Structure 1
Amino acid sequence: MAKTSAVPPADKIFAGKVFVLQGDFGRFPRTHLNIARLIARHGGRVDSTVTDRTTLLVTTIEEFNKRTPAIEKAISLGKARCRIVQWEYVEDSIFTKNGKPRVISVNFHEIQSVLKRQNRLSEAKAIYKKTFIKDANSMKGLADPGLHHVYVDTTAFKYLVVLTRLTKVDQKTRVEKYTLLLFESNASPYTYTVGAKFNRPGTATTYIKEYMVPATFDVAFRQFRKFFKIKTGIEWDCRLDGVGGGEEVFTYMPPARGEPRGVMPKDWREPVVGKPGGGADGERGGA
């Protein structure tokens, strides 16, 4: 049977550990002297400098980023010998909910882990901000981002669809575009509205607000599908079938297979690419 290290008594949770304190931990009572006394009271030892015997360097992110000689020495020892942690490691070990000090893992409070979490959070915030700005721009002139957002269904499909067509004017080809959006309110009980924008080169954007009246999802979605059919000549449920609505209508280019494409009827099957008549009435493959 493998040996397991015994858990130190509650008042000796830091037994065998050698600490070094580095940096400013804030206002009183977080002084080096008080922290050293806390550690000693619970079985640990506090040295003034990092040596080969140091097992825990308690510091701050600011101090860690300075890469002082003490930090560099602790890093060079490797995680197997010395861990670099925040003050909260000491605090959470001693000041527990039930008042009984306990041995806890250093992983959560390790500076490197904290920095990784902060970086991931910063990246997530940047992505969210970019998405928010993009959505806000798409909603401009139709809905207030503080009150509404573009509706996303259970397949993660965002109900912002672009319909385009090519026209010729004076022997020049131009692209005309409708942007059709289904909005959901930010607050409950949730209400839904439909809006659209029309863009044509050389003219100002036209905002279509005929359906911008709060309604239930069923009502708003019916209006959304109605607008889609008027402009494309095809039903919303047939948007992935590869059928066209005619020369003068607008075209919808759906997301590629594997990407969110919206809820489809239960009996719908993916058209088989390359099969003769592989449109709405052609042979279909599995979804």
Structure 2
Amino acid sequence: MGQTFKKIHASSTGKFDGNSDKIPQWIRANGGQYSKDVSEKITHLITTKEAFKNDVEAIRKAKRFKNIKIVSFDWLEDSLLSKNRRPKREKKYLWHNILKNERKRNNKKGNDREEQKMNGENGKKRADKPENEDPFRKKRKGVKAGTAVSRYHLYTDKEARVTYSATLARFMLMRNSRERYVVKVYESNKEPHVYATHLEYSRIGKQQSELLTPLKADRDTAVKAFKTLFWDKTGIDWEERLDGVFPSSKTDVDGNLLPPHEGWFNYENPGGLISSFLREEVVEAPGDSSMIGKQGHPLDSQGERYESNQDEEGETSVT
């Protein structure tokens, strides 16, 4: 195991959804130190929003020591899930900054509502349509589908019989869940056809999406963006996705080779099965496509359950 946290001496307070006991293990496994009590030796205090706002004893102690950074659980998680497992810069994870940004957003929403009232019905329509609205966002209950949905469809290369839609997943031990990318190429209904490549990311507590190309890109540009994203996340070429090819092994900070799957996202085929190299052992549950596996992970010895990756609308990627 690497020593990327060798300069970290952490403590924690608050309830972390079943991960409270694992925080010391993860820090020590990566070369850091962990203490239950807060003292001047502590570099980071990992805490919840509730604990920080209630100003519990541990928070009060930490505030007296200027060297202690009071951060959210996301700081630890994002650090350990990063490519090199080095501690992330703390600025955006400091609770002082997180709450400050929340207040700014709330104030802006309040100002927008006041402006909406002043501008009347026309102002209301403008306020209800954000400038950076995702044109391909999913249709959800009570929310209209993105503005481009009715003008585009998934692009299929009819000669190669391939639809450019892929779901990539990676298991997150600390949240006992997955993080997922869904990347798609869209083709306009009208001719001459124009194209766009869209990316959606999701995990528990976070969801965002973006366009990887302009809405009116040419086909080659859109397909190239799709394949580049696929390779960046999986370590294999799109054309080799079903060939059982292993990605190149990454190395830790000490130069030691990691298992082939570690750090990479895995392509899920249309049946929703995660690529077999993600696990050392796989057991299929009767009457279900879900799988249980992944024993002996360097940070956790317990096996985890992998859920099938069917979209909320019942859509799966097509090859």
TM bracket, shorter-chain basis:
0.3 to 0.5
TM-score by length of 2: 0.38
TM-score, normalising length: structure 1: 0.42
Instruction: Say which one has the larger Rg.
Output: 1
